[in-house]
Structure 1
Amino acid sequence: MSLNALVRGGPAGLAALEERLRDDFVTLGWPAKAWITPTQRQAATVHDVIVVGAGQAGLALHVALSQVGIRPVLLDKSPRGFEGPWATTARMETLRSPKELTGPAMGIPSLSFRAWFIAQFGLDAWSALDKIPRLQWMDYLRWYRRVTAADVRNGHEVMAIRPQADGVVELDVKAEGEVTTWQTRRLVLATGRDGLGGATIPAFMQGVDRKFWAHSSDEMDYATLAGKHLGVVGAGASAMDSAATALESGAASVDLLVRRSQLPLINKSKGSGVPGLTHGQYLLPDEWKWRIRHYINAQQVPPPHGSTLRVSRHDNAFFNLGCAVQGVEQVGDKLHVQTSAGVFVLDFLLISTGFAIDWSLRPEFADIAPHVKLWSQRFAPEAGDEDAELSASPDLGPLFEFQGGLPGLDHIHCFCYPAALSHGTVSGDIPAISDGARKLAQGLASLFYRDDIEQHFAKLQSYAEPELDGTEWTAADSAARMRQLQQ
């Protein structure tokens, strides 16, 4: 694609980019030739790899697996084009990551968001862009799926997972109202931020009628909040984005109820984004793994600058610091919210308290949950360094695999946020998603070869493609040659 095409952008530019991408794929030998012998079990197909989730993690893993000759099937319960949170529950105006990060591009420049954006809107527009608009990121992922020909089955919801002693994982999958059993040799959970649980609901919300509150991760029409006095519990990124969306939708007022007396100012997690930790988290001693992740958790990530300004520019937004919520009571059609600073009388509450690893919220994991080894069984932190999130995290093996006593459990790989303590943030967030996908894909290729070693050795022994046909040389008369040399 020429520089002039880059500068101009437009439909022709995108077509030219896709042509360049096709040539890049040829240059890289992508997808690589398949090399694993297809298998069957009980007269039914056994897939090599099934990935649950077709968001950015699942799509990146699809490309990485294709680079090593493995063709995965991706199952996602969402409708096509609405995988992940970007066009459903996310409410930020822009991504929080810098636009320069390559995300799931897998080291292929023409597969990057930058290339996709410039091809359509031009180089000047890219230079002027601050951060990537959220819905534009979803458009990019839709394009990414198309140009990489990912095998995504939308409307497929996993209802149960049963690892078997023979190394096959069975899945009950619901699609079009019918449940069928699928089989795979390796199962990858690319299920996002709440991959092993769901929204954290504080105890003070127990018994409160659901018509008076929602979690910030719920799908809901914020227009229904118009004219209401709203409270938002929390002060993280999702709290700010939810508050801003409510204000923009006509809320009469928004009170942010913030436990801390001061918002955190520094995003400590940015200070950990170096290749040594990206690639080396798994190799660290347990004490250091815990210390780093706990420090980041304890310091807390501040809400983004833009998201905070998006709230504070409204005169009817109120930042109530040092207001820890202690109880919530329904009084008629109002909520009386008791805080450490007093009582707020509100019409509706938005709870923005993040996510928790909670197997009880994911019935599809019922067969494996009791057997998964957790970090609480592996490591006891020093007094004062306790961390519920970290204790509940799965203790994963070197290739993100679950560990525990259930036969076949290690054929399930946790490629979602709860892997962070074992492997670092390489299984969901934009900065290092390609690194995590490549690590897992190459590891899975190694496991398949190991598991089928006798079969592959037999192929090696029977390999008979000639390199030479015998006409490339003439055998010397050694005796005559030696006499010749003696003269």
Structure 2
Amino acid sequence: MTKFPSSLEELNSLVARDLDYLTLPAKEWVPLKQIGGETLLDVAIIGGGMAGLSAAASLKHLGIRTVIFDARPHGFEGPWATTARMETLRSPKSLTGPAIGIPSLTFRAWFTAQFGEADWDALDKIPRLQWMDYLRWYRDVLNIELRNDHRITLIKPEADHTVLELETPQGSQTVRARHVVLATGRDGLGGPYVPEIIRTLPKQFWAHSSDENDYSVLKGKWVAVIGAGASAMDSAATALEAGAARVDLLIRRKDIPRINRGKGMGNPGSVYGMQNLDGRTKLAIYSYIGAEQVPPPRASVLRVSRHNNAFFQLGASLESIVVKGDKIEITTPQGRRQFDFLIASTGFQIDWRQKAFLSEIASKARTWEERLAPLTGNEDRSLTEAPDLGPSFEFLPKAGVEAEGLSRIHCFCYPAMMSHGGVSGDIPSISEGAARLSTGIAATLYHEDIDQHFANAKSYSEPEVFGDEWVEANNYDQTDLEALV
């Protein structure tokens, strides 16, 4: 019977053995380059969540020197322990996530090493905070270099490298890297989408579901939650569990979405084939899925509905919101009601203005709107405003725009979906996306330094044959030759 690791210490040893058997990580091979006495990083990654960790692991295993910079404190990278509020992930527990093809790096390996196979069999979905613990372990066991409390203030591409300006605990710093990867999550090229009817209200009355809200202040309050997606259900449930007196979900649709249409075409072919479909086909597919909308997880809806003071208001599009003293009055086709607070679970948008550090890129990067022109004007702008990316997730320049060095910046976050499919932010195929990104960068670095690599071949001097393995025929005398015959 196969013996599985029964502790994290044993699992760590297994990971080390697996990496050794696979000869990983590869020996570093990218020539060191300096600018003004400063050694360039091979790759700098912005964001240390799941995508950033997956990208860093893949790049490191290819022998590429990589450093992650993240604005959050150690162990709180990504949304899992900060702004996410679901009880469990919606993804099946069996998905391998960021394991990059190594069984001992899977969540299952991490879980069973601590709790055993019986508990794994009994587990339904992965608890959110336990997933964060797994990612912390993943970072440590792979010895990924991640510099926390480093906030990017500007990314400036130059001809042969990219300049990063940062605010750090030690003050302002400048870092230079040959390539930069944006692993900045769901709001990677923008931020929360908030309808104007909400955005114009005094901020004391509302928050977006992605904000780091203190839900304890909602105890005893009447709360409106706008939306019917996963984040709306999680926000409503969190408010109810914090003691909100009443929570109304104001849902524009007359029914909550019930079928995840995208799941119907999810298979390995889509992972590798979506990127190569023509743009009009991709636009049609993603427009349809977006219009149908992804349903909230059943468990998240039940988490809300088990509270008697939760109310689902269907067909309740926002008609007006006015301030009435210390409350807001919301009018929908279902009537008028006053609330103490509103949570907008209205998703995200591409809006470069919300990411000031991308200002040098914003005006130069080509979008799908330009790629697909002419448009009818009825297209989903969340798709046409997405960047048109190259095969390694690199930004491409607008037609006629001078954009030196732009291709050194790689968009490995949610807005890459129109170009590459869902491989840059979601658990099911994040490893495949990381492999696509890292192999593309490796090839580019090799091409850039091919003269150096060719020179290395010419100067390489380690012999494999020493000349004592044979005797030349003309060194035999005639007698020896006759004896041989």
The two structures share one fold, judged by TM-score above 0.5: yes
Match of 1:47 among 41, 62, 84: 41
Whether the 8 Å contact between 2:31 and 2:449 is mirrored in structure 1 is no
Whether the 8 Å contact between 1:216 and 1:238 is mirrored in structure 2 is yes
Aligned ranges for residues 250-329 of structure 1 at < 5 Å?
250-329=243-322
Aligned ranges for residues 102-113 of structure 1 at < 5 Å?
102-113=96-107
Whether the 8 Å contact between 1:400 and 1:440 is mirrored in structure 2 is yes
Match for residue 171 of structure 1? 164
- C-alpha distance in 2, partners of 1:318/1:445? 53
- 1:412 partner amino acid: I
Three-state SS of the structure 2 residue aligned to 1:73 is: strand
Q: Structure 1, residues 405-447: CA drift from partner, whole Å, max 9, x if none?
A: 3111111000000000000111111100000001111111100
Greater CA deviation, 410-419 or 206-215? 206-215
Deviation at 1:256, TM superposition (A): 0.4
Match of 1:66 among 53, 60, 68: 60
Match of 2:202 among 193, 205, 209: 209
Match of 2:406 among 405, 409, 419: 409
Whether the 8 Å contact between 2:190 and 2:355 is mirrored in structure 1 is yes
Three-state SS of the structure 2 residue aligned to 1:287 is: helix
Match for residue 234 of structure 2? 241
Match for residue 443 of structure 1? 440
Three-state SS of the structure 2 residue aligned to 1:184 is: strand
- 2:269 partner amino acid: G
Is 1:79 equivalent to 2:76 in the alignment? no
Q: Structure 1, residues 174-215: CA drift from partner, whole Å, max 9, x if none?
A: 101611111010000000000110000101013311111110
- 2:315 partner amino acid: G
Distance 1:382 1:411, change over 3 A: closer
- 1:399 partner amino acid: S
Match for residue 388 of structure 1? 381
Distance 1:436 1:73, change over 3 A: same
Match for residue 194 of structure 1? 187
- 1:312 partner amino acid: S
Whether the 8 Å contact between 2:41 and 2:65 is mirrored in structure 1 is no
Cα RMSD, aligned residues only: 1.9
Deviation at 1:142, TM superposition (A): 0.5
Three-state SS of the structure 2 residue aligned to 1:335 is: strand
Q: Structure 1, residues 30-52: CA drift from partner, whole Å, max 9, x if none?
A: 11100111110122121110000
- 2:235 partner amino acid: S
Is 1:472 equivalent to 2:469 in the alignment? yes
- C-alpha distance in 1, partners of 2:304/2:443? 50
Three-state SS of the structure 2 residue aligned to 1:37 is: coil
Match for residue 121 of structure 1? 115
- C-alpha distance in 2, partners of 1:321/1:459? 68
Distance 1:381 1:271, change over 3 A: farther
Whether the 8 Å contact between 2:252 and 2:316 is mirrored in structure 1 is yes
Deviation at 1:465, TM superposition (A): 1.4
Distance 1:190 1:480, change over 3 A: farther
Match for residue 151 of structure 1? 145
Match for residue 84 of structure 2? 90
- 1:204 partner amino acid: I
- 1:457 partner amino acid: F
Using the size of structure 1 for normalisation, the TM-score is: 0.95
Match for residue 421 of structure 1? 418
- C-alpha distance in 2, partners of 1:212/1:469? 81
Distance 1:63 1:336, change over 3 A: same
- C-alpha distance in 1, partners of 2:377/2:452? 53
Deviation at 1:273, TM superposition (A): 1.9
Unaligned runs of 5+ in 2: none
- 1:88 partner amino acid: T
Whether the 8 Å contact between 1:294 and 1:385 is mirrored in structure 2 is no
Distance 1:479 1:378, change over 3 A: farther
- C-alpha distance in 2, partners of 1:85/1:173? 21
Match of 2:332 among 336, 339, 344: 339
- Counting matched residue pairs gives 478
- C-alpha distance in 1, partners of 2:362/2:133? 35
Percent identity for Structure 1 against Structure 2: 52
Whether the 8 Å contact between 2:369 and 2:375 is mirrored in structure 1 is no
Distance 1:381 1:240, change over 3 A: farther
Q: Structure 1, residues 312-366: CA drift from partner, whole Å, max 9, x if none?
A: 1111111111111122110111111121322121111110000001001111111
Q: Structure 1, residues 123-144: CA drift from partner, whole Å, max 9, x if none?
A: 1000000000000000000111
Match for residue 137 of structure 1? 131
Unaligned runs of 5+ in 1: none
Match of 1:26 among 20, 36, 54: 20
- 1:158 partner amino acid: I
Whether the 8 Å contact between 1:160 and 1:366 is mirrored in structure 2 is yes
Deviation at 1:384, TM superposition (A): 8.3
Distance 1:177 1:350, change over 3 A: farther
- C-alpha distance in 1, partners of 2:322/2:199? 10
- 2:139 partner amino acid: R
- C-alpha distance in 2, partners of 1:382/1:444? 33
Deviation at 1:474, TM superposition (A): 2.2
- C-alpha distance in 1, partners of 2:469/2:261? 65
Greater CA deviation, 337-346 or 210-219? 337-346
- 1:473 partner amino acid: W
Is 1:226 equivalent to 2:214 in the alignment? no
- C-alpha distance in 1, partners of 2:320/2:294? 25
- 1:172 partner amino acid: E
